[in-house]
Amino acid sequence: MRYLARTLLALLLVCQPGWALSSEMTRSDKALWLNVGAGALALGWGTWSWDWGSAGPRFQDEGWFGRTTGEGGADKLGHAWSGYALSHLFAYSYERFGYGRSDAARYGAYSSLGVMTAIEIGDAFSDEYGFSYQDMLFNAAGAALGYVLWEYPEINRIIDFRAEYDPFPRGKRQLDVTTDYQRLKYLIAVKADGFEEVTNPLLRYLELHVGYYARNYESYSGPGSSDRRERNVFIGVGLNVTKLLSPYVDTGGVFNYVQVPYTSINLDRNLDRR
């Protein structure tokens, strides 16, 4: 449940900071207490739910995107996406507190990295997880991408980093959808609507997608068992759901971070096909 808790942490402490912070506080005080609250919740939740304190500090080498890693690298992109989305949630809050865009982008990235680092340090004291430098590098990469796309809106109009969850594939389902890699994909979307050179109104609804996903890792039980693990890359053309819905509903930018399944046509390549 680690990523679900991380998502709730972001939603509770970043999306709606007004219910916890007085309007009479200065913006720096609000920022301070927001980060203190985020860190305290992460510490409390980790101790309660993530087995922190069950072991001494230890490191764990999880590998990168190899076929024999725990999730074929999909978990690393999950870390990057979490760091990216969390940096934007923090940046959004900082702008509400009165910070300018550049400061909000920078502090948002710092706060995201701080929370993700605290969680990883907590994992070092868990018998189940351990501190993974691979995870930390992708946490940092996600926060850095979040900074760039918030600081430069002209780039943000063109590029999104999204997670897609498809509930329909067969296989064991995870209660925590954010770690259900059997049904998750991660992708970069390049939006035609962000290019002034694209003048055809129909073409402006289209996007170019490039992504990665892994499958059948949950069902693999070790040497001697059926091994259907696979890693896949894909390229495709999708619909800009935010633009499609904008005349009818304000989506709040959620579809800049979440890809709606079955709104694209993809060409997939299985990297493990012999």
Please spell the DSSP secondary structure of 70-107, one letter per residue: SSTTHHHHHHHHHHHHHHHHHHHHHHHHT--HHHHHHH
Distance CA 118, CA 146 (A): 18
CA distance 6 to 9: 5
Looking at the fold, whether 209 and 111 belong to one and the same domain comes out as no
Contact 120, 135 (CB under 8 A): yes
Shared domain check, 147 and 45: yes
131 and 114 housed in the same domain = yes
Rg, C-alpha atoms of the chain: 20
For residues 262 and 209, membership in a common domain is answered with yes
Residue 183 shares a structural domain with residue 150: no
Considering the domain architecture, whether residues 73 and 9 belong to the same structural domain is answered as yes
User: What pTM was estimated for this model as a whole?
Assistant: 0.88
| Same domain for 188 and 105 | no
Report pLDDT for 179: 79
pLDDT at 70: 87
Q: Per residue of the chain (274 residues), what is the pLDDT tens digit? A: 455 445 545 444 445 444 455 567 888 888 888 888 887 777 777 776 667 767 678 788 889 999 989 899 999 999 999 999 999 999 999 999 999 999 999 999 999 999 899 888 888 887 777 788 999 999 999 999 999 999 999 999 999 999 999 988 776 666 667 778 999 999 999 999 999 999 999 999 999 999 999 999 888 877 877 888 999 999 999 999 999 999 999 988 999 999 999 999 999 999 998 7
Single-letter amino acid code for the residue at 194: G
Q: Which residues pair with 185 in a beta bridge?
A: 164
**Is 149 in the same domain as 210?**
no
Domain boundary among 107, 129, 156: 156
- 54 & 171 share domain: no
Shared-domain flag, residues 75 and 175: no
Residues 61, 172: one domain?
A: no
How many structural domains compose the chain? Answer: 2
- Give the residue from 156, 174, 205 where a domain finishes: 156
The span from the CA of 236 to the CA of 24, in Å, is: 49
Last residue within a domain, chosen from 109, 140, 156: 156
Residue 10 confidence (pLDDT): 47
Residue 165 and residue 75 in one domain: no
Which residue segment(s) compose the domain that 169 sits in? Answer: 159-274
With CA atoms as reference, report the closest residue to 164 among 269, 264, 268.
Answer: 264
Within 13 Å and on the Cβ side, how many CA atoms surround 136? 16
At 1 the pLDDT is 41
